[in-house]
Every structure is written in C-alpha cells, then in structure tokens.
Structure 1
Amino acid sequence: MIAYHASHEQFSPRDLLRFAKLAERAGFEAIHSSDHFHPWSERQGQSGFSFAWLGAAMQATHVPFGMICAPGPRYHPTLIAQACATLQQMFPRRLWVTLGSGEALNEVITGSSWPDKQTRNERLLEAATIIRRLFTGEEVSHEGHFVTHKAKLYSLPGTPPGLLGAALSPETAALHGRWADGLLTTGHDPAAVGKIVQAFRDNGGAGKPIYLKFQLSYARDQAVAEDEAYDQWRNNVLPREMLATLQYVSDFDVAGQAVTREDLRRQLPISNDVAFFQARINEYQSVGCDHIILHNVNRCQEEFMKDFGRVVLKANLQVT
C-alpha cells in the first residue's frame, strides 16, 4: 500500500481536504494524517484539528485513513478512544491510529511539565491499554499516569481501529512489539530502518504490518525541490531529542537557523526524478516495510500526486 501524507502543519484543513480527494484520484491507496497543535515553524503556518478534519475527509473519499496522535496532557486516552471509535463506526474498517510518545511542542500548552523518554514510554503503554479496553465496551477505571473513572464507550464500531505504535529507534520498536497491532517508523537510511523493523518483529511483532513514513522533497524543478525543502522542513532534521523537547515554534525556528542546506541533503532525499524515489521505496520494501506513506515536504503537492500516480503508484499496483 502506498499512502499520501496530509501534513496539517503545512496546509490548511480546506486545502488538505482537496488534496485528499486528489490523492485518491491519482491512485494513492490510503491517506495518513498528522496531528499537531502547533506547526514546526512559523513558515509552515498551519495546524488544523485532525479529528475534525478526518470526519470530513473520510466522508469525501473511499480509501482507508491512518493518523498519528500522542496520549498525554492534550489528549486523555478516553478522548482518543471515543474519537477513533466514532470515526470507525461511521466509516467501518477504514481507520488505523498510531500512538506516539509525543512532543513538548504540542503538550506544554496545558501547563504540564515535559517528562523524560522513559516516562513518556510508560505513559504510552498505559494509554494503549486503556484505549484497547474501551474498544471492547468495558467500563474502565484506572489510576496511574492517567486517571480514568468508570469510563465506557457507548458508540462502538463492529471492528475496532487498528492500534499501532510509533518508533524511531530499535529500543522503542521492541517495546511496541508486545502490544501494538503494527509499527509506524520513519528514516532516510534503509539499513537503519531495517534494524527498527527487526527489533519490532523479534519482540512480539512478527507477522504484524510495518508502515514507513517516507519524507522526501520532489518537484519537477530540482532547484524548487531544494529551496522548498529548506524553507519548509529544515527544522525537522534537528536531532531527535530536540524534536521531542523544544517547547515553542520560535525555539524550532532559532535552532533551525543552524541547519545548512548540506545538512538537509544528508537527511532528506531531494530530487526531480521520480525514478530515484521509486528505487528508494523498493529498498524500504526489501527491509520489511509493508506500507509506505509518502510525505512530500514541500508545497508542490499537485504535481507530486500527478507524477507519482503515473509512475510510483502504477508500479506498486503491478507488483501487488
């Protein structure tokens, strides 16, 4: 499966609704939604509410949808469970949700302190357990990182949404293998991605689907692909720990000033050649990635969908 990534940080909900319909017409087999309260940069300048958008986008299309969100101060797990159950009931078997440990950028708005990675992982596992129990129709009471008192979902789908775990390291992937229905990861080096996939499979994830979010910059003009990537995505190649712990959009823009164009090229594939990206997709598939989510990080979305629809999506359908 090849999916289109709807980046709420970069585009308005209205534009993303149009892009979702265009992506389906171009041949993308699914849509994947981000979920942020703040964008990564003032230059991106958007951040719509993904759960509201998903209802409209799923009504306007026919393909499956995935989304990633983080249980924490902003989203209590009971809220995530109710939102996802509602979407899945309206659009049966069309939703999967990935749980991540989150970023301070989206969570400190509540006034809560930002915990260390171990605590965030513990919180994530606890939230996943609560959500799964709620999906069964059970009345749930719980005390821990989250407090839940006699919570029960009354509007349930026939089949609950798939519940995936997000991981950027083998260590986190190994933790997810024991509870998640699948794994979502990202990365530019296929060998490193393969290690994350293997860690998940070796620790309870054997036979479960692997999703890869492939971040790239494609435009028909190479200079546009490079300039747009630098404008829109240079903050996102900062070190992983900074991405998780910087608290404000202004912090990211200040830190991003130190990122050079060469830094960006080392971590983000940039090209005007569709065949270049098809070869990289083949590499990801060879290390075990079953489903590829394509995120074109620049603003040239329509030509990206048209060109990849003619080459990449057609090739993928022939293989499958």
Structure 2
Amino acid sequence: MARIGYHASHEQFTPADLLRWTKRAAEAGFDCAMSSDHFHPWSERQGQSGFAWSWLGAALEGTALPFGIISAPGYRYHPAVIAQGAATLAQMYPARLWLALGSGEAINESITGLPWPEKQERNARLLESVEIIRALFAGETVTHRGRVTIVEAKLYSRPEEPVILVGAAVSEKTAEWVGSWADGLITVHAKPEQLRKILEAFDRGGGAGKPVILQAALSWAPTEEEAEAEALHQWAPNAAGGEVNWDLRRPQDFDIAGRFVRGEDIRQSVLVSADLGQHRAWLAEYAGMGFAEIHLHQVGRRQLSFIDAFAEHVLPALKGG
C-alpha cells in the first residue's frame, strides 16, 4: 500500500506557511512529506524561494513524518555540502530522510556562473557527485579531481545508516540509467502507460525490487473553473514542454513561455478537477502500480482546504479505509 505524502513547494509559499500546513497534513493523516529545493520560483507570480535545508530541520522536529528532498549536486551545492546536510538531519532523525538527486535545472543551478551543459554532461557530473556522497556517508576520507573536485574531506557526524539516495527521472532513458546506481526512483505522474514504461526501464537498468516514489501535481478547488484557473496561474510555465524546464534561467522567462499554455495543455501535466472522486480514481490507479510513496502537490493556493478535503474524502479510500 502506497504511503500518501504532502509536497511542500518552496517556490510557491512562505516557509512559515509550509511548516504550518505540513503540521496540519500530519494531523490530518498524511503519511509522509516531500520538499522541493529551489533558489528561484518558476514564475514571478509564485514569488517565494525559501531555503529548504534549514526548513527541513524545523519540519522534522515539528512532526513525526518521514521526509524526502530532491537536490542537484555539483553546481549550487558541492556534493560534500549536501552529504553533510543530509547526514546531520539523518543523525538527529533516524530513518526519516531520503535524498533524491537529479541533474538540475538552470533556473536554480546557473546562479553560480558555471557553464550549463547538455543533459549527458549533467548526468556525468551527477554520477561523480553520487559517488562522492556515498563515500562520505561511508566515513571515507575523499579526494577526487574530475568534473567535481574534493580534497581530503571526511564527515565526522554521520547517522548509523546512510541516507537512501534516490534518483530522479522523467524519461525512460534516464530511468534505466538511474537503475544502475540509485537506491530507488522518483518520477512525476504521467499517463499510466507511460509511467509503466518508466518503471520497466528502471527495473531493466538494475532497479528491480527497489522503492519507487511518485510526485503527482494536481489542482483541486470547489469548482472546475477555479481548479483550472489556479493550475494555469501557478503552474503554466511547467507545462510549456520541450527543454524549457531545464534550460531557462529566469522566472520572467518562464512567465513568457507560460503565456502560450491553455487549459487543455495544463491538464496534460496537472491532474485538474473539482471532483474529489476523480482525484481518488486517478490516485488509486497510480497506487496500484506499486509506488512506495505518492506525494500530492496541490499547485493551487488552497492548501488548508485541500489538506482537509483530501484527508476526509481521498486518503481513506487509498488506505483501504
């Protein structure tokens, strides 16, 4: 049975609000939570960019939920810094943190001024970073000179068990590659037939038997018109398609791209409906595909009413209640 999580979107809401809502989600019956890790929002309309790692300390202390976070090592963060941050949290809150690693987006990572390479090079940099993080978790003194440089680094404060390293993938090709090195997979919702192909690719690459996690973007509101309008207002730039999400550098650029997204377009990347029964059906189908966790990202601004409505009308069915 899939655990159902609440996604804390730092690019959309203040850290204080997200902490309050995550506590409410825990009280309402959500099983776990997940945090984004952004430097810039996707849109000027979103308008936030809290530092996820300091927020996670408060969220772990303020709830009993397990948490995940997705980060991109090798640009904005040196992998040693991510390793130290994750190890510290996992030492204080054992068995409650997983760390997802991806190749990143320019909107967050290009702020350091490093060249922003194509996908193959970003993957190579990611794999070097993964190897460094694993070695640090193991207590090794690490020196490595390559795409990433680290000299005589050692983590002295470590958890008893290393943090699980999950690989992020949204395509079959990347999922198969992630299967060769990751302890698990995280992907985003898509049409069920496409999701099955991604899961099969992960298994084919070596991920068979490892946990898989789903992030599902949805927009619920009391009316269909509001649900669609909120999705367009907050999430249209993410539905532009192509390489937009990985290569644009400024929120203003995403806003320009988002002008061309229509209601029928946003429904291809966001589960838009005012009908809680429809959301139940969508999520039940995903739960039946074997995901260990499904994190619900309500892209609209109605967060408290979403938490309460889904806790009453959606979660019990997904949990067999």
TM-score by length of 1: 0.97
Aligned residue number for residue 96 of structure 1: 98
Give the deviation of 1:207 after TM superposition.
0.5
Matching residue within 52, 55, 63 for 2:54: 52
Cross-structure match for 2:111: 109
Tell me what 1:164 maps to: 166
Cα displacement (A) at 1:265: 2.2
Following TM superposition, by how much is the alpha carbon of 1:240 offset from its aligned partner in structure 2, in angstroms? 4.3
- 1:204 maps to what in 2? 206
**Within 2, Cα distance between the matches of 1:144 and 1:238?**
35
CA deviations on 1:186-245 (whole Å, 9 max, x unpaired) are 133111111111100111101001101011101122222111111000001121411000
Q: Which moved more, 1:162-171 or 1:219-228?
A: 219-228
SS at match of 2:147: coil
Q: Deviations over 1:83-130 (max 9, x none)?
A: 000000111110001001000001111111100000011111111111
In structure 2, which of residues 17, 20, 23 is the aligned counterpart of residue 21 of structure 1?
23
Q: Judge conservation of contact 2:217–2:269 (CA < 8 Å) in 1.
A: no
Q: CA deviation at 1:171?
A: 0.5
Partner of 1:174: 176
Q: Greater shift after overlay, 153-162 or 255-264?
A: 255-264
- Equivalenced residue count is 319
Aligned-CA RMSD value: 1.1
What is the aligned partner in structure 2 of residue 71 from structure 1?
Answer: 73
- Aligned residue identity for 2:193: A
Would the aligned equivalents of 2:287 and 2:318 in 1 still touch at CA under 8 Å?
A: no
Contact 1:194-1:288 at 8 Å conserved across structures: no
Matched, 1:239 2:241: yes
- The percentage of counterpart residues that share the same residue type is 52
SS of the aligned residue for 2:103 comes to coil
Task: Give the SS at the match of 2:30.
Answer: coil
Equivalent-residue separation in structure 2 for 1:200 and 1:258 (angstroms)? 33
The letter of the residue matching 1:70 is A
- Return the offset for 1:282: 1.9
Contact kept, 8 Å, 2:79 with 2:133, in 1: the verdict is yes
Cα distance in 2 for residues equivalent to 1:289 and 1:156: 29
- Matching of residues 1-320 of structure 1 within 5 Å: 1-318=3-320
Structure 2: how far apart are the matches of 1:23 and 1:287?
Answer: 24
Q: Following the alignment from structure 1 to structure 2, what is the Cα–Cα distance between the partners of residues 210 and 282?
A: 16
Task: Find the aligned partners of 1:278 and 1:240 in 2 and give their Cα distance.
Answer: 30
Amino acid in structure 2 at the alignment position of 1:108: S
